[in-house]
Amino acid sequence: TTRFNALDADARWQSVWAERESFRAGTRPGAPKAYVLEMFPYPSGRIHIGHVRNYTMGDVLARYKRMTGHDVLHPMGWDAFGMPAENAAMEKGVHPGDWTRANIAAMRAQLKRLGLAIDWSRELATCEPDYYGHEQALFLDFLASGLVYRKLSAVNWDPVDMTVLANEQVIDGRGWRSGALVEKKQLSQWFLKITDFAEELLDGLGELEHWPDKVKLMQANWIGKSQGLQFSFAPVAPFDQPIAVFSTRPDTIFGASFVAVAADHPVAQAAAVTSADAAAFIELCKAGGTTAAELETQEKLGFDTGFEVIHPLDAAIRLPVYIANFVLMEYGTGAVMGVPAHDQRDLDFARKYGLEVRRVVADNDLTDAVFVGDEAYTGPGALVNSGFLDGMTVDAAKSEVIARAESEGWGAGTTVWRLRDWGVSRQRYWGTPIPVIHCGACGVVPVPRDQLPVLLPENVDFKTPGNPLDRHPTWKHVDCPQCGTAAVRETDTLDTFADSSWYFIRFASQPDDQPFDRTEAESWLPVGQYIGGVEHAILHLLYARFWTRALKHLGKLDIAEPFAGLFTQGMVTHETYYVEGIRHDGDDLEQGIFDNAVPTKFWLSPAELIQKDGRLIANVAALAAYEVKVGRVEKMSKSKKNVIDPEPMFDTYGADAVRWFMLGDSPPERDLPWTEAGIEACWKFVNRLWRLFEAEQSGAGADIEIDRATARAVAGIAADIEALQFNKAVAKVHSLANTIEKAAPSASRDTAIDTLVHLVAPMLPHLAEEAWAARRHDGLVADAAWPDADPALLVDDSVTIAVQVNGKLRDTLTVAKDSSRDDLEALAMASPRIVATLAGAAPKKVIVVPGRLVNIVA
């Protein structure tokens, strides 16, 4: 026997598949369609192991679907616009396009080495005009139908680099390159009206049966539907502005002890007019973060304006008005009533500023009006200390207060959404140019359709910070398409999330003259199975769902939900290694020079380690004196130096062993720790299978146990692949291989080996093709049909029965529990031992007790 020559087999079969265009979609007219999609990669430069895991899973499903008779669409492309290309341009002076296309070429070659069943004829890159030009057309459709608008909105402004920064470029409040304190600046920006679809996007989650619950919950929270009461507090003169607040807990209204407004609320502005302290406090708030997450964690700070308002249900109660840093201007009305006993933020605030904390919902038998402790009570209970609400449940009290407010005219029940419109403007070069022109006379004018795509200029300079489109000498200067006077192009480009919001539609249909052909796209969509990282659980998936619904709304595509099935896979992790030292200013870590200020870990990559006398030591001369410690198993990251590059693995073990490791070692939704021992074991197993497949071992006769084991594997592995439980499928392959190895030669065993070739074909496609050819089958296993499992063989509750001749035990048989009398009699009569015992004598009578025994009276 030979070793499986993976390197040779990989290359050979990959080129056979490519030449035959084996995985071209749309080639099986009339067959059921299956659209399998993995989230397309950003062309960062190299494939990482997370990609390998992601694409292997999708590939197994795609290949399996082909074998079960489907017309499969399994495409690949590149999410090719974005910041890193521009950073490379700034740092290395390469053009973003050159950088991106070189990365795509390198990564495409790497992906091909994995042996993916991809229809490469549909490959697309979002940075190419034949993609983004169509996106511009869709943007104009949205614009025409009122789904796009412009408004002033705050951006992060780096005053040194004179440029707008993406949120990720702001690190601890400072610009990532300049280190300057980032300012908020108001700019007119483009928005997509995703909020028009809030209700639909929320309700639609209910239909997504094949989505993980946790993702649906994250989306629901992001959309954030809150029902409650919006009402106004009347001012106490001389203060003269009523303050509208939104509350989801109107039942707690008698527990209100203050009102708080956001720093940019008009009431705060009014306070600043007369009070320098108020103005200073507002500035302080603005310096802090403004995202909801930042507000959550910040210390709660307030400023007492001295204004007072009147409680709507008891005019004798007056409440102080504060400016508070935890109130968001963008949510609700930008003002809240503070109920310290039943809201943690309000309680923290009240304790800090000495405000009343009044209990209004009983906590078990606690009913005292004075609330003690520092933990707000948010549970159920009966209303107390609340006049006419006393004794009611929380829900009844909510309805009662809303009804009163509505009948007395001081408030109304309302729904408030957390979801904001999608700001799509980026002041960047490497993105889809927003296809409009600003004319002094006509205003915003869409670029005429016949002038699309609006191409990015090639000759741009990245030496000066800021938006290269804006400072380009000629690009933006055009004549107005309407009146012909001098005008300027929009220089913002689209958020790259726009590019990934419809690429799955373009994969399904890619005509030259329009973004997609409706009928063709509808024939494939929705994507049957979408696979990707949970980091996209919110934004990407929400934007793609919105974009699809927007197209439906425009009558362009009759698909409500783009992804019928979603799977979020776990990460690939790896051990970390380090030496511990002490660091001071003059340290040279590369030289291993540490001194006495701060203890520090100096991370080592596996390549920097060697085994010596059973110990790990650093293969870096300067660090040889230090003990290498094994750190935690963590997500692969450059900083911890625990990244494993998959490409050398293809050379050492071949694609199939790598694929096998990706599938078998952990449940797909869990993290997968990469280990050398694990990949070694996979390589050994691939060779074990190869020995089975290659051996010329034909036997005669049936072996029912092998037949059963084979049938169980066929049915079980099919179910596991459909359920994306690849590790279970891998375990079943192991088990069938064991059974076959132990079995004596028989025709059943030969069939089992052939069947096993089919079963591993989706997972180990190169090995399977090689075996298919070695076993002299025609064509490709990739085109073969998934084997059938005889249902009769699947009955796995078997029993052992006794076979007697004239009351004496002569044999035992393992049979299906529900075998009929006739089957049992036939099996007993066919047993070689019984045949021998009877020695030709004809039985007088056969007594069958199903599930127990067969007694032959001779």
Q: Which one of Zn ion, ligand ANZ, none interacts with residue 515, CB within 5 to 8 A by kind?
A: none
SS3 236: coil
Among 39, 336, 397, 737, binds ligand ANZ (CB under 6 A): 336
Among 75, 320, 332, 468, binds ligand ANZ (CB under 6 A): 332
Q: Which one of Zn ion, ligand ANZ, none interacts with residue 482, CB within 5 to 8 A by kind?
A: Zn ion
Bridge-based pairing state of the strands 577-583 and 629-630 = antiparallel
User: If you write DSSP's letter for every residue of 822-833 in order, what string do you get?
Assistant: HHHHHHHHH-HH
Among 67, 259, 337, 767, binds ligand ANZ (CB under 6 A): 337
Rg (CA), the chain: 35
Which residue from 502, 499, 515 is spatially nearest to 550, judged by alpha carbons?
502
Cα–Cα distance measured from residue 574 to residue 666, given in angstroms and rounded to the nearest whole number: 13
User: How many CB atoms neighbour CB 522 within 10 A?
Assistant: 16
For the segment 403-432, give every residue that binds ligand ANZ (CB under 6 A).
416
Q: Is residue 328 close enough to count as binding ligand ANZ by CB under 6 A?
A: yes
Among 56, 163, 247, 432, binds ligand ANZ (CB under 6 A): 247
Q: Is residue 182 close enough to count as binding ligand ANZ by CB under 6 A?
A: no
Q: Is residue 692 close enough to count as binding Zn ion by CB under 5 A?
A: no
Q: Is residue 138 close enough to count as binding ligand ANZ by CB under 6 A?
A: no
Query: What is the sign, positive or negative, of the torsion defined by CA atoms of 61, 66, 71, 73?
Result: positive
Cα–Cα distance measured from residue 815 to residue 823, given in angstroms and rounded to the nearest whole number: 9
Binding mask 186-225 for ligand ANZ (x = CB under 6 A): ----------------------------------------
* Pick 246 or 502: Cβ nearer ligand ANZ: 246
Three-class secondary structure assignment of 333-371: CCEEEECHHHCHHHHHHHHHHCCCCECCECECCECCCEC
* Pick 182 or 347: Cβ nearer ligand ANZ: 347
Whether 626 and 580 have beta carbons less than 8 Å apart is answered as yes
* Pick 353 or 503: Cβ nearer ligand ANZ: 353
* Pick 224 or 631: Cβ nearer ligand ANZ: 224
Among 339, 350, 551, 771, binds ligand ANZ (CB under 6 A): 339
For the segment 249-268, give every residue that binds ligand ANZ (CB under 6 A).
249, 252
User: How many CB atoms neighbour CB 653 within 10 A?
Assistant: 21
Of the candidate spans 77-85, 324-332, 511-519, 566-574, the one that interacts with ligand ANZ by CB under 6 A turns out to be 324-332
What torsion do the CA atoms of 613, 618, 623, 625 make, to the nearest 10 degrees? -10
Query: Tell me, what amino acid is at 693?
Result: F
Q: Is residue 363 close enough to count as binding ligand ANZ by CB under 6 A?
A: no
Q: Which one of ligand ANZ, Zn ion, none interacts with residue 309, CB within 5 to 8 A by kind?
A: none
H or E stretch including 243?
Answer: strand 243-247
CA distances to 155, 345, 346, 851 from 295, rounded to whole Å, are 18, 10, 13, 70
Q: Is residue 439 close enough to count as binding Zn ion by CB under 5 A?
A: yes
CB-facing half-sphere around the CA of 513: CA atoms within 13 A:
1
* Pick 309 or 663: Cβ nearer ligand ANZ: 309
Burial class of residue 534 in the structure, from the number of CB atoms within 10 Å of its CB (0-12 exposed, 13-18 middle, 19+ buried)? middle
Q: Is residue 447 close enough to count as binding Zn ion by CB under 5 A?
A: no
Q: Which one of ligand ANZ, Zn ion, none interacts with residue 439, CB within 5 to 8 A by kind?
A: Zn ion
Q: Is residue 437 close enough to count as binding ligand ANZ by CB under 6 A?
A: no
Cα–Cα distance measured from residue 526 to residue 549, given in angstroms and rounded to the nearest whole number: 12
Q: Is residue 398 close enough to count as binding ligand ANZ by CB under 6 A?
A: no
CB-facing half-sphere around the CA of 297: CA atoms within 13 A:
6
Q: What is the DSSP letter of 32?
A: P
Of the candidate spans 59-67, 182-190, 320-328, 426-434, the one that interacts with ligand ANZ by CB under 6 A turns out to be 320-328
Q: How far is the CB of 332 from ligand ANZ (least distance, A)?
A: 3
Q: Is residue 486 close enough to count as binding Zn ion by CB under 5 A?
A: no
Q: How far is the CB of 252 from ligand ANZ (least distance, A)?
A: 4
Query: Which residues does 817 contact at the CB level (< 8 Å), separation at least 6?
Result: 795, 797, 798, 799, 851
Among 68, 226, 605, 725, binds ligand ANZ (CB under 6 A): 226
H or E stretch including 812?
Answer: strand 808-816
Q: Which one of ligand ANZ, Zn ion, none interacts with residue 441, CB within 5 to 8 A by kind?
A: Zn ion
* Pick 478 or 717: Cβ nearer Zn ion: 478
Q: Is residue 248 close enough to count as binding ligand ANZ by CB under 6 A?
A: yes
Please report, as ranges, the residues that interact with Zn ion according to CB under 5 A.
439, 441-442, 480, 482-483
Please report, as ranges, the residues that interact with ligand ANZ according to CB under 6 A.
226, 246-249, 252, 326-328, 331-332, 334, 336-337, 339, 342-343, 416
